[in-house]
Amino acid sequence: MAWRGQLSKNLKELRVLFCQSSPASAQTREFVQKNYKDLKTLNPKLPILIRECSGVEPQLWARFDMGVERGFYLEGLTETQIEKVLEEVTKAGATFKG
Amino acid sequence: MAFTMRAVKVPPNSSSLEEARKRTFDFFRSACRSIPSVMEIYNLYDVTTAAQLRSSIASQIRQNASITNPKVIDMLLFKGMEELNNIVEHAKQRHHIIGQYVVGNEGLVQDVGTKDLRASDFLKKFYSTNYF
Amino acid sequence: MGLGLLALRASRTSLLGRSSSAISRPGFESGNPNFNLVRWIISTPELQKPEAATASEPAAPPPPPPRTPVGGARVHIEKPEDAIEVFVDGYPVKVPKGMTVLQACELAGVDIPRFCYHNRLSIAGNCRMCLVEVEKSPKPVASCAMPALPGMKIKTDTPIAKKAREGVMEFLLMNHPLDCPICDQGGECDLQDQSMAFGSDRGRFTEMKRSVVDKNLGPLVKTVMTRCIQCTRCVRFATEVAGVEDLGMLGRGSGEEIGTYVEKLMSSELSGNVIDICPVGALTSKPFAFKARNWELKGTESIDVTDAVGSNIRIDSRGPEVMRITPRLNEDINEEWISDKTRFCYDGLKRQRLNDPMIRGPDGRFKSVSWRDALAVVAEAAHQVTPEEIVGIAGKLSDAESMMVLKDLLNKMGSNNVWCEGNGMNPQADLRSGYLMNSSISGLEKADVFLLVGTQPRVEAPMVNARICKTIRATKAKVGYIGPPAEFNYDHQHLGSGPQTLQEIAEGRHPFCSALLSAKNPAIIVGAGLFERKDKDAIFSTIESIAKQAKAVRSDWNGLNVLLLNAAQAAALDLGLVPESENALETAKFVYLMGADDVDLEKLPSDAFVVYQGHHGDKGVYRSNVILPSSAFSEKEGTYENTEGCTQQTLPAVPTVGDARDDWKILRALSEVSGLRLNYTTLGGVRTRISTVAPNLVHMDEREPASFSATLAKPETQQKMSKEDFGVAVENFYMTDAITRASKIMAQCSASLLKK
């Protein structure tokens, strides 16, 4: 899980958007519930914005340097798949830096 | 001459579009003929030329190019004649002429249009107004 | 009261009234057919001979069309067995037990005229305007004070009721001056409207009218006490809603007067509301006096930005000028009140305005330039510094759209140091519950114990304070307060003034703990003034542990609240306006102030280039190199999120001043001039962009609650609380931002109403 510590190096901001109640967002909510503490402890200065809004599709957005952003829809993904997405994003961020 | 024109009655309406068109050209000619005296009266030599004034008159006439109703054309011609009389009679002041016919509608700050060539639609609108 | 409705009823009246009295009469007083032959002095001819009406009994009246409740009134009956049925003018209507006759009539679609009755105040029953006839009652009854009973047959259109109203009206007008042409209430006066609808066309009063000495209630409320009809609404408002017992009734009979008992000003931050509830022109707005008539004004439904509550307001304008601000009904936020700052700050919109882009010349003076030149200079200056030296600060009045564009622009320039003043240098923006009022403003009414930490709601958010006050009046809830000595308008315990007290409560050593632990719905309200403290994380973790002990955060109740100070704060945190480094300002070379006036610019290096974009020439302008004029909240469409997380928007009421532009448009234009074109050009485009950052900001008029509480799973902080006491967040209630600081009325208020 070494990539987790790389998060704040490669990313400038991480946003997780989901609905408070819809079943489509259930996996995302679970993911946040379980992983937020760990991510925040490893990346204390990185803003991890958890934004909820009724009726919104679960999404994950990453902002890299110079205002470049990349977003993913998380509907239908399980927790492990979401984690995979985050890992990929982190690695993609490393290339942006270069 | 000018004062006698005031006494002239309103001419009868143009019977057709052709007649109205002919009158318009007559009006333009009479306006052009008075340009030298206007330049003299208002001392416009250092701000404009006769050619510029002529094109200014022409553009004002062209603004109404789409009108096809002879009655409306007659009315506009009458107004134009009034305006011409007022100018020739020295019923106006120099800044009226400069404001209306020399500077024109674009205002004092003339945009040469080279700066904004690459600007987007948004930026062009932004420079002119807040409401778009 | 809708006059159209009244007229409609008047036309329908005669038929209905006659038939119903004809049906009910025989059983009641069959022996005396002349019962109605009492001598009435009534000008309306058809009422003079009610017996004639009885005689010419019409054949079965046509069934009247069903009526809709007044003002869309709805009632939710919890238990069906609690509903009772009453008949209003013959229509059956189901109402819950305990409702008054007047409320039942409203549900049945009959608007009863009234002066003293106000549905948010206690019942006085002293104007007698709401008299209606109730079957089997010997006299007309005051409907506002009479509870509805099962099977009650209420008649609102009978000759008796009409005569009673006409009589009351005549008495009220006896001592009321006939000065409507010079009265500011003219056109929106209940007395005027109702005397047209229900009054007689002549009076019989020939003596001298009484006159009453005007009272001085301060710089906001103008009094013409001769016009007062002693409805006592203002007295009840002051005691019940504003929580100050300043106003009262003196004397009796014709010597009756409203006044402060001793010569003093009304010391409430809600005093402006007495202007709205006064049914006549006795209490009117002093700044608005003789300025305009209400029918000349154009109303625009908007949002207040002077505090974080987001009170719903209507901006009344005439041409390019804001003439006054009045409240709009919103049960969840401000009910129907607004604070004095909200109501009277509008004259600040006309003073100290920036109207042209300006550049500071080498001599230190500002020179007006065109937008093209100003933006070119700013773009040039931004290109000459490294990305880390660029800083953007949003002001306390900024809307969400402009903050979004500011953040996008600076991110594109490579800077991550964008923040909003008032949020501190190390804000917690991750979880929305960490900076919102989670129990919602209306939800505070369910709380039974309040713990106020470092917040003085009376000056920080008067509408929230009014809710707390209302709750305390209704349920005798307890209030504990930690912070510097402050004034409250309800009973409270001052527990201490700093973090030590907080520590004591967290460790269970404080006497207030027992109240907190035994509470069913404890509400902890933390002031946003604490955001600026260095030991903020430690304080918040202590508060969270208190909340955990008191079980303040449960699935059905979230009582851990933050009370924000400024209109922009919530949206700024939602959009992630978080500075990357805490010392960004000390090393900045290019500072973009978007209406930020309360930033400490002393720390700034002297060679820094400062751009001020804003609508007022306030503190921020003094240090700036370029001024870009923008529009104020009354001139633009902007999204604001209030302290409870409810998104609302302002609408333009008046045109912008001079050559000003909307905030987001300036930034968008700047992005293009500096070669970093942002890919949206319309407000809709900006909002679409916002929906990928904080989608709750595009759900207008919705409150989106936070799903994870702040206690969820934050990493523990290593900080220790310092011993320093909590400070005062708002020094002067009347002057907190650029608009209110420019306002003359607010300056007068601070001079006369603030205690030295």
Model pLDDT for residues A62-81, shown as the tens digit of each residue = 998 888 888 889 888 888 89
CATH number of domain containing C489: 3.40.228.10
Model pLDDT for residues C330-341, shown as the tens digit of each residue = 999 999 999 999
Residue C324 lies in a domain: no
Rounded to the nearest integer, the mean pLDDT of chain C is: 87
Residue C26 has pLDDT above 50, yes or no: no
As a whole number of Å, the end-to-end CA separation of chain C is: 43
Q: Which two tokens stand for residue B54?
A: 């002529």
3-state DSSP: chain A helix, strand, coil percent, rounded to 5?
Answer: 50, 20, 25
As a whole number of Å, the end-to-end CA separation of chain A is: 22
Give the separation between CA C136 and CA C687, rounded to whole angstroms. Answer: 62
Model pLDDT for residues C151-182, shown as the tens digit of each residue = 999 999 999 999 999 999 999 999 999 999 99
Q: C371 vs B119: CB contact, 8 Å cut-off?
A: no
CB-based contact, B115 to chain C, within 8 Å: yes
Residue C319 lies in a domain: no
- C226 and C123 belong to one structural domain: no
- C58 and C21 belong to one structural domain: yes
Residue A35 C-alpha, separation from nearest chain C C-alpha, in angstroms: 9
Give the separation between CA C87 and CA C75, rounded to whole angstroms. Answer: 16
- C680 and C636 belong to one structural domain: yes
Residue C5 has pLDDT above 70, yes or no: no
Read off the DSSP letter of residue C431.
Answer: B
Q: What is the pLDDT of residue C637?
A: 94
- C382 and C506 belong to one structural domain: no
CATH class of segment(s) A11-97 = alpha beta
**Alpha helices (H) along chain A:** 2-10, 26-42, 79-97
- C597 and C548 belong to one structural domain: no
What are phi and psi for residue C516, nearest 5 degrees?
-65, -40
Give the separation between CA C15 and CA C57, rounded to whole angstroms. Answer: 9
Which one of A13, A29, A32 has the shortest CB-CB distance to C576?
A: A13
- C83 and C95 in contact (C-beta within 8 Å)? yes
Q: What is the pLDDT of residue A93?
A: 79
CB-based contact, B72 to chain C, within 8 Å: no
Residue ending a domain, among C174, C197, C224, is C174
Q: What is the pLDDT of residue C66?
A: 65
Closest CA to C662 of A57, B122, A28: B122
Length of chain B: 132
Please give the interface size between B and C, counted as residue pairs whose CB atoms are below 8 Å apart.
Answer: 30
Disruptive mutation site among C654, C661, C663 for chain B (greatest number of B CBs within 10 Å)? C661
- C185 and C166 belong to one structural domain: no
Residue C636 has pLDDT above 80, yes or no: yes
CA angle C638, C340, C423 (to 5 degrees): 50
Mean pLDDT of A72-92: 88
Return the bridge partners of C494, or none: C481
Model pLDDT for residues C297-331, shown as the tens digit of each residue = 999 999 999 999 999 999 999 999 999 999 999 99
Q: What is the pLDDT of residue C450?
A: 94
Residue C692 lies in a domain: yes
> For the residues of chain B, what is the DSSP string, one character each?
-HHHHHHSPPPPPPSSHHHHHHHHHHHHHHHHHHHHHHHHHHT-TTT--HHHHHHHHHHHHHTTTT---HHHHHHHHHHHHHHHHHHHTT-S-HHHHIIIIII-TT-SS---SSGGGG--HHHHHHHH-S--
Give the separation between CA C215 and CA B82, rounded to whole angstroms. Answer: 64
Read off the DSSP letter of residue C300.
Answer: E
Q: A47 vs C576: CB contact, 8 Å cut-off?
A: yes
Model pLDDT for residues C252-269, shown as the tens digit of each residue = 888 899 988 888 888 889
Disruptive mutation site among C405, C408, C411 for chain A (greatest number of A CBs within 10 Å)? C411
C122 burial (CB, 10 Å; 0-12 / 13-18 / 19+) is: exposed
Q: What is the pLDDT of residue B116?
A: 60
Q: What is the pLDDT of residue C717?
A: 73
Pairing of β C141-142 and β A59-63: unpaired
Residue C386 has pLDDT above 50, yes or no: yes
Closest CA to C359 of C625, C629, C630, C606: C625
The full set of domain ranges for chain B reads: 2-6+15-128
Task: For chain C, positions 556-585, list CB contacts with chain B under 8 A.
Answer: none
Q: C714 vs A40: CB contact, 8 Å cut-off?
A: yes
Give chain B's radius of gyration (CA, Å): 18
Residue C432 lies in a domain: no
Closest CA to C171 of C213, C143, C225, C129: C129
Q: Which two tokens stand for residue C142?
A: 């005051």
Length of chain C: 756
Q: One digit per residue, pLDDT tens: chain B, 132 residues? A: 455 555 556 678 888 999 999 999 999 999 999 999 999 999 988 888 899 899 899 988 998 989 999 999 999 999 999 999 999 999 999 988 888 888 865 555 555 555 566 778 899 889 988 888
Residues of C in contact with B109 (CB under 8 A): 370
- Helix pair angle (B70-88, B17-42), 10° resolution: 20
Domain count, chain C: 4
SS3 C659: coil
Residues of B in contact with C660 (CB under 8 A): 130
CATH number of domain containing C385: 3.40.50.740
Question: Which residues of A lie closer than 8 Å to C, measured between beta carbons?
Answer: 12-13, 15, 17, 20, 29, 32-33, 36-37, 40-41, 44-45, 47-54, 56, 59, 61, 63, 65-67, 69, 71
pLDDT above 90: percentage of residues in chain C: 66
Q: Distances from the Cα of B106 to the Cαs of A57, B57, B102, B110, C264, in angstroms? A: 51, 15, 10, 7, 60
CA angle C233, C236, C241 (to 5 degrees): 115
pLDDT above 70: percentage of residues in chain C: 90
Q: What is the pLDDT of residue C463?
A: 94
- C553 and C483 belong to one structural domain: yes
Q: Which chains touch C (3 or more CB pairs under 8 A)?
A: A, B
Give chain C's radius of gyration (CA, Å): 30
Return the bridge partners of B16, or none: none
Q: Which two tokens stand for residue C301?
A: 């439904």
Q: What is the pLDDT of residue C13?
A: 43
Residues of C in contact with A33 (CB under 8 A): 708, 712-713
Q: What is the pLDDT of residue C25?
A: 42
As a whole number of Å, the end-to-end CA separation of chain B is: 50
Q: Which two tokens stand for residue C341?
A: 């700052």
- Kindly give, in sequence order, each residue whose CB lies less than 8 Å from that of residue B78, ignoring residues fewer than 6 positions away: B10
Q: Which two tokens stand for residue B23?
A: 């009158």
Q: Which two tokens stand for residue C589?
A: 């070379």
What are phi and psi for residue C466, nearest 5 degrees?
-65, -35
Closest CA to C325 of C303, C308, C350: C303
- C71 and C218 belong to one structural domain: no
ipTM of the complex: 0.95
E runs forming strands in C196-246: 221-223
- C113 and C254 belong to one structural domain: no
Q: How confident is the model at residue C512 (pLDDT cuts 50, 70, 90)?
A: very high
Which one of C660, C668, C673 has the shortest CB-CB distance to B130?
A: C660
Q: Distances from the Cα of C659 to the Cαs of B124, C253, C615, C662, in angstroms? A: 15, 60, 11, 10
CB-based contact, C613 to chain B, within 8 Å: no
Q: What is the pLDDT of residue C224?
A: 94
pTM (2 d.p.):
0.82
Length of chain A: 98
- A53 and A19 in contact (C-beta within 8 Å)? yes
Q: Which two tokens stand for residue A83?
A: 């984690």
Q: C665 vs B130: CB contact, 8 Å cut-off?
A: yes
Give the separation between CA C456 and CA C487, rounded to whole angstroms. Answer: 8
Q: What is the pLDDT of residue C721?
A: 81
- C26 and C91 belong to one structural domain: yes
Model pLDDT for residues A22-58, shown as the tens digit of each residue = 888 888 988 888 888 888 888 888 899 999 999 899 9
Q: What is the pLDDT of residue C90?
A: 87
Residue C9 has pLDDT above 70, yes or no: no
CA angle C283, C747, C620 (to 5 degrees): 140
Model pLDDT for residues C194-235, shown as the tens digit of each residue = 999 999 988 899 989 999 999 999 899 999 999 999 999 999
Residue C72 lies in a domain: yes
Which one of B115, B121, B130 has the shortest CB-CB distance to C661?
A: B130
Q: B120 vs C672: CB contact, 8 Å cut-off?
A: yes
Q: Which amino acid is at C582?
A: E
Q: What is the pLDDT of residue C741?
A: 94
Residue C318 lies in a domain: no
Q: Distances from the Cα of C595 to the Cαs of A32, C613, C738, in angstroms? A: 35, 6, 8
Q: Which domain holds residue C495?
A: 438-563+712-723+738-750
Q: Distances from the Cα of C379 to the Cαs of B118, C69, C385, in angstroms? A: 16, 60, 11
B to A contact (≥3 Cβ pairs closer than 8 Å): no
Closest CA to C499 of C547, C551, C550, C535: C535
Residue C714 C-alpha, separation from nearest chain A C-alpha, in angstroms: 5
Q: What is the pLDDT of residue C4?
A: 45
Give the separation between CA C434 and CA A25, rounded to whole angstroms. Answer: 21
- C738 and C397 in contact (C-beta within 8 Å)? yes
Scan for tokens 């020295």, then name that residue.
Answer: B90
Model pLDDT for residues C648-703, shown as the tens digit of each residue = 999 999 999 999 999 999 999 999 999 999 999 999 999 999 999 999 999 999 89
Return the bridge partners of C223, or none: C283
Model pLDDT for residues C43-98, shown as the tens digit of each residue = 554 544 444 444 444 455 555 566 788 877 777 777 888 889 999 988 888 899 88
Give the separation between CA C293 and CA C230, rounded to whole angstroms. Answer: 25
CB-based contact, C353 to chain B, within 8 Å: no
Q: What is the pLDDT of residue B120?
A: 83
